[in-house]
Amino acid sequence: MKAIVQRVTEARVDIAGDTVGRIGPGVLVLVCAMQGDAEPNAKALADRVAKLRIFRDDNGRMNRSLLETGGGALVVSQFTLAADTSRGNRPGFSAAAPPDEGERLYEHFVSALRATGIHVETGRFGADMAVHLVNDGPVTVPMER
């Protein structure tokens, strides 16, 4: 699985003008299931996100995790993380898991992240979403598992 983790002061996702997920300080996680991924990949990635030390400690250093800060996570499915741009100008997405498998693994990732005790909000898999965020830092970290 692939993810982009962004440290935020706030984030929300809207669908057709309605807010479906909103957090204050924490992380926005854009996540994509890849061909060949399985539940262990989703759980391992969720555990890494929860423990990723990208929040400031008392000395201003990135030394605290989401678990330590009590922040929230807004998780949004994003199959375009699987984009292959190695040929031509149009990206290919064949490396992404098929939609039914991608949705199942996305839901497994969300459940695994919630199981760590983190408050998790979500978008809606496959929906046309507007994601709003205030990137804190900015801090943006790509991850794979």
CA 137/CA 145 separation, integer angstroms:
25
**Residues forming beta bridges with residue 134, ordered by sequence position:** 10
**Residue 116 designated active-site:** no
64's enclosing H/E stretch is strand 62-64
55, 79, 109, 122: the active-site residue: 79
Q: What is the largest CA-CA distance in the chain?
A: 48
* Active-site residue, from 55, 78, 109, 122: 78
**Residue 80 annotated as catalytic:** yes
Q: Is 79 a catalytic residue?
A: yes
**Of 19, 35, 80, 140, catalytic:** 80
Give catalytic residue positions.
78-80
